[in-house]
Amino acid sequence: MFVTVTLTLNGCSDSSARRTQLKTDASSTPSRMQDASRVDADDYIHLSEQEWRTRLSPEQYRILREKGTERAFSGAYWNHKGQGVYRCAACRLVLFNSETKFKSGTGWPSFWKPAKDDSVQTKSDLSLGMRRTEALCHRCKSHLGHVFDDGPAPTGLRYCINSASLIFEDRE
């Protein structure tokens, strides 16, 4: 059984809303999307932590919802070279394009910019006794990783992202 969810995404660069349809296999627990009525005017997905637990693997839940991290050089995408897009593992929002992925040597997938200006949000993270900038999915507010200012031109940024927070979609 397939479910089609249509979401209106605000904040596009041309200031107009665009519509995106996401088709997911409703019988596959990690892939199921929420009912469109559960998305508010700011495109935020409202799910209980129990609902997230049923939709994500234990590792994805630990990273995306509890702000965990995976060990360096252990994730599926740290050395991935495919051409396509990287989506949020929780809500399937397109977060990064393969063209902005680079080899950082850190052991995590690294990108120098998000797919769209508003697809990744940032906020101050003072955990672990240091000041960092957390990267979050715009739509579901899931933890993706952190942003550092030691990346390549043209942005100088390094979005250091956990593989478990991503799903790769090959360019067809």
Residue 27 burial (CB < 10 Å; 0-12/13-18/19+)? exposed
160 is annotated as an active-site residue: yes
What span, in angstroms and rounded, lies between the C-alpha atoms of 151 and 112? 6
Q: Which of 91, 137, 140, 160 is catalytic?
A: 160
The three-point CA angle 72-75-81 to 5° equals 110
User: Any bridge partners for residue 156, and if so which?
Assistant: none
- CA–CA dist 12, 8 (Å, integer): 11
**Cα-based distances in Å from 106 to 56, 62, 80, 103, 159:** 25, 21, 13, 8, 11
Provide the annotated active-site residues: 160
